[in-house]
Each structure stands twice: as structure tokens, then as C-alpha cells.
Amino acid sequence: MAGGPVIVAGFGFRAAATVDSLADALARTGAAGSVAALATLEDKARGEAFRTFAAALSLPVHPVDAKTLARQETLTRSDASRIARGTGSVAEASALAAAGQGAKLMAKRVISGDGLATCALAERDGP
């Protein structure tokens, strides 16, 4: 993958989300096998389901702080997310922040079938 694009999967999820919720959200992006890292808010990154999910995929986790999250421009404009977390989409903002400068969203976030998790992909040129 040297020199190719780097894809980061960002997640937003409710406390009741399970490993299956997270896996389903990632699967719905259609790019699960291309992801190089996972990202979410610092407090969410400590959750048991998210830690278990990341370990099962053997992918690094990039926790994102609230200030960095709020600076990201998202495609989704969820009022509930804006009120609770200061961003239109935790998944989109986490992916962008972790992917780094010059990153772009590949598409709007997707929602798991159970409605408990969202996932968005951001891409930047590698390495």
C-alpha cells in the first residue's frame, strides 16, 4: 500500500452498540477490506464493544478529541449530533480528523441495520 490512498473508518455509536452493530456499519460502507485504521471520539474509543471490534480486525484506533472533532466539515448535518457532540456527524468528523490533512470523505455516513452505529470513510493520499 506504499504511496497509495489511506482509508480511515470513523465511527459514531450509542452506548448500546455491540460489536455486531459496528461490524454491520463498516460492512455497509462496502470498503471494509481497504480500511487501514479506525477512529472515534476519545470516550467512545474506551468502550468495550469498540475495543473488541478493533482487536478483532487488528487495526489501530485513533481516538479524536472533542475540539478536533468540532473543526471538521461533515456532509451530514444531524441536529442531535451537533447538540450532543458539536459536529454534524461523529463518524464523518472522526474519519476526517484521523485521516489527517488533505483527507476527504468518500461518502456520507452509513447506519447499521440496528440503528446503533454509524460509519464513514475518509481517504487521503498515503503513506
The domains located in the chain, with CATH, are 5-125 (3.30.420.180)
For residue 104, the SS3 value is strand
Of 23, 41, 50, nearest to 98 (Cα)? 41
**Could you give the CA distance from residue 38 to residue 61 in angstroms, rounded to a whole number?**
5
**Residue 31 grid cell:** 470498503
pLDDT confidence of residue 1: 39
Per-residue pLDDT tens digits of the chain, which is 127 residues long: 356 789 999 999 999 999 999 999 999 999 878 999 999 999 999 999 999 999 999 999 999 999 999 999 999 888 888 888 888 899 999 999 999 999 999 989 999 999 999 999 999 986 6
CB 27 within 8 A of CB 56: no
Q: Which residue's C-alpha cell is 478529541?
A: 65
The dihedral region occupied by 30, where left means phi > 0, alpha psi between -120 and 50, and beta the remainder, is left
Residues 6+ apart with CB under 8 A from 76: 88, 89, 92, 108, 109, 120
pLDDT at 3: 63
